Amino acid sequence: MRSNALSLLLVFNLLVLSCVKDEQLSQSPPITPEILSFDLNEDASDDIMFDYSWSIADGPDDSWEIIYRTVKPLNGTFILMNPGDDLLSLQRHDTVRANPGDTYLWKKNRTANLLSISNGPNKNSLWANKWDVESNLDLDNYYLGIKLNDGTDQLIGWIKLSLDRSTAEVQILDKKFTSEAFIVIE
């Protein structure tokens, strides 16, 4: 009898652990790194800011919180987005164009999501330990198309980002800008 109860307890524990799927969960929201602003063209004016937003999502049986690591254009800067608002859709060898046509759109004064983390649905109000990248691409590094106002000129270019899924830290690894009509991501 005792071995049956012990076996049942072991099966129950295995069942619970299998539902976690290698993802550690926490009761506390993650610690978020500091808000950072960057002057991309060295004109003494910040061009983008990596910030946070917090929202609540409602489902049929539950509600949960979501934290987004965001990028916000500042001081006349534009971010290149596709019409589906998939921010991180650029990769090496893609072309950033001053006039992108229907493929992409320049967005000004629009905060866009880079990473997200939540405590639901189906997580019983527990927080995941890894941030999700807001992209359909699975890359080591991600790219943003950027249009800057540089006095009387407009510059277009790209920035290469490292996104840490454990901490939501964002680093700019490389950048390149031109006053030409297009630039290829290297």
Q: Is residue 54 part of a domain?
A: yes
The helices-and-strands tally (H runs, E runs) of the chain is 1, 14
Residue 27 lies in a domain: no
- Lookup: tokens for 142: 């991600």
Chunk the chain into consecutive blocks of 10 residues (it has 186) and report each block's average pLDDT, rounded to whole numbers. Answer: 42 38 70 90 93 87 88 94 81 94 87 90 79 92 92 91 95 96 96
Give domain status of residue 156, yes or no: yes
Residue 173 is assigned to a structural domain of this protein: yes
Task: Flag whether 45 is in a domain.
Answer: yes
Tell me how crowded residue 161 is: count the other CB atoms within 10 A of its CB: 21
The span from the CA of 146 to the CA of 35, in Å, is 19
Q: Say if strands 112-118 and 63-73 run parallel, antiparallel, or are unpaired.
A: antiparallel
Q: How far apart are the C-alpha atoms of 122 and 137, rounded to whole Å?
A: 24
The count of domains in the chain is 1
pLDDT computed for residue 123 by the predictor: 65
The pLDDT score that the predictor gives to residue 2 is: 46
Q: How far apart are CA 68 and CA 103, in angstroms?
A: 25
Range of the domain at 171: 34-184
Task: Note whether 145 and 79 are within 8 A (CB).
Answer: yes
DSSP 114-136: EEEEES-SSSTTPEESSPEESSS
Query: Does residue 112 lie in a domain region?
Result: yes
User: pTM surpassing 0.85?
Assistant: no
In contact, 114 and 69? CB cutoff 8 Å: yes
